[in-house]
Structure 1
Amino acid sequence: MNDSGRNGQYFWCTRHNRVETEADVCAARYTMGPYPSVAAAENALTQVRQRNEAWDAEDARWAGESK
């Protein structure tokens, strides 16, 4: 995949586990984005995991639990 997406619109497809552009993007229920670059789209699941871990830790801290 190259950086030829229209207006920098790249998506991570959870159905096909690949970066897609507006030209070949799957239905919204299968995609995450848009992202400004191929690299950002490729990193989508890592970013989601990191944010979820941070939010879980914050929830635990808020509830008075140690995590």
Structure 2
Amino acid sequence: MKVIIDRFEGGFALVELEDRTIIDMPIELIPEGAKEGDVLTIFIDEEETEQRRERIRKLMEELWD
């Protein structure tokens, strides 16, 4: 998914989604140095997701064994 930073207001970046709707994103989620007009790509990091699931699974096994 791609979003375009429309503007900044207070602690939020107003970003335009692909369907042209505008949503507020907390500024903490915006990469440092990003500015109005920049295009951001949001994606699911499948590799990192799987690594986290595996770590959690191992922790749960340790707790229940």
Same fold (TM over 0.5): no
With the length of structure 1 as denominator, give the TM-score of the two structures.
Answer: 0.37
Higher helix content, 1 or 2: 1
Q: Which has the higher contact order (CA 8 A, sep 6+)?
A: 2
With the length of structure 2 as denominator, give the TM-score of the two structures.
Answer: 0.38
Structure with larger Rg: 2
